[in-house]
Amino acid sequence: MPNDTGHNGWSNYATWRVNLEIFDAFNPFEHLSDLNQIASFFTKTSHAARVLQDHAEEVLFECATVEGLAADYARAFLADVNWYEIAEHLIDAYREEAV
């Protein structure tokens, strides 16, 4: 039976869409100053996931002048994102580029 919740190889639509529109050209490592920090980032997927979630919220709500229903819908959509999956994807992509 096919997985009805998956989308384009991602666990769900929200994860795919946020990765595509917010993280496509995002380098989560540009703010890290040395290889030790990057190595630490690699070993802590939960930390990476939190950094990504914070970044997405900043992108969405930094310039938002609308609160209320629209913001509530945006937050509900973000709640469905698999931040660990995006973190692992970005870490893997970074590792492939570094080789």
Give a yes or no: residue 65 inside a domain. Answer: yes
Q: How many domains does the chain have?
A: 1
Neighbours of 30 (CB within 10 A): 7
Put residue 81 in one of left, alpha, beta given phi > 0 → left and psi -120 to 50 → alpha.
Answer: beta
Q: What is the pTM of this model?
A: 0.76
pLDDT digits (tens, 9 = 90+) for 23-76: 887 776 666 655 556 666 666 677 778 888 988 998 888 866 667 888 889 999
* pLDDT of amino acid 37: 62
> Residue 94 belongs to what domain range?
51-99
In a domain, 14, yes or no: no
> If you average pLDDT over residues 80-85, what whole number do you get?
95
Task: For tokens 């590792």, name the residue.
Answer: 95
Q: What SS3 string covers 44-92?
A: CHHHHHHHHHHHHHHHHHCCCCCCCHHHHHHHHHHHCCCHHHHHHHHHH
